[in-house]
């Protein structure tokens, strides 16, 4: 399995970057590595780099980064510490040399999962498929997938079990032959039958994922680029459950744009969260969540009073490029947004989920964002949390901390004690604090995001 991958000179990686991968330890999701990042930020290049160790390869001129001297070097470190590397030859050009003869085989499922709807009868096992399938360039689909269909047909019980867990119901399928001698996959739904091209892309996508999983062994490496493609959210959630179970003993690496594939239980069990970003100079940067942050996540996911802290809405943050605003709680998000609308002001930023679940949690959230390379983060604190805010400002000098001039965002009556806020109880910004809100709150945030 892969412990670390270092990429230099390949596509957008003009500056060398090292990616640390998590390894399965028997716990749910421990071997799951989740790669997030905007489009064109290097996620697929990481997958291509892993694929390069499957078999002999070469790097055409368009794949080599001129900022790295038109040279490529990729190094892969295995779980046991063994290091393998490949790099372009000293004379230049597309050819590469290897540090050794060993190949680190990974089952790689591309994001483009078009399959041939009619085919001849050829049956390949997993090793044959890995050795013969992957093209040197990004292709429009999965070449030779039909060879796996015949192998899958021999193991329908295993395939159907996984298929049912993801789809949520039994799917009846078989391989049929036309009069012209060509074969096709037939899917039967009640009294209706569909040929290969008659079923949706979503079901085909699930079937290709089932193939990646059903005959895998412990400690295998499985890489899936954008598992969410064409899948309904219900399928995505059930697929994630399957990946969590499989990654107890296998290393599974996924690249995703879907918040349904961020799983905090897996990360707390030492799974990986990896973020890519394209810098202003065109180079790719990769950041990995640190073990210290993973350990603190355990407390957040067990917080029964605030179960939404790391919920779906918070997960969406990891698919934004930057400009994050972290508040203490849910009502802060609601009332700040209300005040912005009331005053007709727009901030080019996004609130983190429904808040951090308390001022004490803001430092944990900031650590996560810092680990993953976020540059523009604002933390908002109530007036009675100034000491904590000062401590956090010292710990995170690159971020902006703002303290309210009152003890809360709005007025409250708590056990006959009145807590003064910058807004009334029903969320109307008080006259005395309008200038502060526009100049200190909005003004400082806008200036920080634009700097």
Flag whether 306 is in a domain.
Answer: no
Burial class from Cβ neighbours inside 10 Å (0-12, 13-18, 19+) for residue 290 reads: middle
CATH code, 393:
3.40.50
Tell me, yes or no, whether 16 and 105 share the same domain: yes
Tell me, yes or no, whether 265 and 325 share the same domain: no
Domain extent, residue 193, equals: 2-288
Flag whether 294 is in a domain.
Answer: no
Distance of CA 112 to the CA centre of its chain: 17
Tell me, yes or no, whether 341 and 210 share the same domain: no
> What is the C-alpha to C-alpha distance for residues 255 and 257, in angstroms, rounded to an integer?
7
Flag whether 147 is in a domain.
Answer: yes
Q: pTM score > 0.85 for this model?
A: yes
Burial class from Cβ neighbours inside 10 Å (0-12, 13-18, 19+) for residue 186 reads: middle
Flag whether 304 is in a domain.
Answer: no
pLDDT digits (tens, 9 = 90+) for 303-328: 766 667 777 778 888 888 799 999 99
Geometric angle at alpha carbon 48, from 240 and 144, rounded to 5°: 80
Number of structural domains found in the chain? 2
Tell me, yes or no, whether 45 and 85 share the same domain: yes
pLDDT digits (tens, 9 = 90+) for 323-361: 999 999 988 999 999 999 999 998 888 999 888 889 999
Where is mean pLDDT largest: 29-33, 88-92, 99-103?
29-33
pLDDT digits (tens, 9 = 90+) for 55-80: 777 888 888 888 888 899 999 999 99
Flag whether 201 is in a domain.
Answer: yes
Tell me, yes or no, whether 103 and 217 share the same domain: yes
């Amino acid at each position: 399995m892969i412990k670390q991958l270092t990429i230099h000179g390949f596509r957008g990686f003009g500056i060398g970057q090292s990616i640390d991968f998590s390894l399965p330890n028997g716990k749910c999701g421990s071997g799951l590595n989740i790669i997030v990042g905007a489009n064109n930020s290097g996620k697929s290049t990481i997958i291509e780099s892993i694929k390069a160790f499957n078999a002999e390869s070469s790097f055409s001129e368009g794949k080599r980064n001129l900022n790295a001297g038109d040279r490529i070097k990729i190094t892969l470190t295995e779980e046991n510490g063994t290091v393998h590397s490949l790099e372009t030859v000293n004379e230049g050009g597309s050819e590469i040399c290897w540090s050794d003869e060993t190949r680190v085989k990974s089952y790689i499922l591309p994001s483009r999962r078009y399959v041939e709807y009619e085919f001849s009868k050829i049956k390949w096992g997993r090793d044959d498929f890995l050795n013969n399938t992957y093209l040197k360039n990004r292709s429009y689909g999965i070449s030779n997938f039909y060879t796996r269909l015949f192998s899958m047909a021999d193991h329908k019980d295993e395939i159907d079990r996984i298929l049912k867990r993801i789809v949520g119901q039994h799917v009846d399928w078989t391989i049929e032959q036309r009069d012209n001698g060509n074969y096709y996959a037939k899917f039967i739904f009640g009294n209706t039958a569909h040929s290969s091209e008659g079923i949706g892309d979503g079901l085909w996508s699930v079937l290709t994922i089932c193939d990646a999983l059903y005959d895998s062994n412990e400690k295998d490496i499985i890489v899936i680029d954008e598992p969410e493609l064409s899948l309904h959210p219900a399928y995505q959630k059930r697929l994630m459950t399957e990946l969590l179970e499989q990654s107890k003993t296998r290393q599974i690496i996924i690249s995703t744009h879907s918040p349904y594939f961020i799983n905090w239980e897996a990360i707390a069990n030492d799974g990986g969260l990896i973020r890519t970003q394209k810098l202003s100079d065109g180079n790719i940067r990769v950041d990995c969540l640190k073990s210290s942050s993973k350990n603190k996540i355990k407390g957040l996911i067990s917080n029964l009073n605030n179960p939404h802290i790391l919920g779906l809405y918070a997960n969406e943050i990891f698919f934004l490029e930057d400009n994050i605003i972290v508040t203490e709680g849910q009502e802060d998000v609601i009332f700040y947004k209300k005040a912005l609308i009331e005053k007709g002001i727009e901030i080019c930023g996004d609130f983190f989920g429904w808040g951090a679940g308390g001022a004490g949690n803001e430092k944990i959230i900031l650590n996560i964002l810092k680990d993953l390379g976020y540059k523009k983060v604002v933390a908002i604190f109530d007036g009675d949390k100034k000491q904590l805010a000062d401590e956090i400002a010292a710990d995170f000098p690159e971020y902006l901390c703002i303290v309210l001039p009152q003890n809360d965002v709005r007025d409250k009556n708590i056990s006959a004690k009145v807590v003064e806020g910058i807004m009334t109880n029903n969320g109307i910004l008080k006259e005395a604090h309008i200038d502060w809100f526009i100049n200190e709150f909005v003004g400082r945030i806008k200036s920080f995001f634009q700097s």
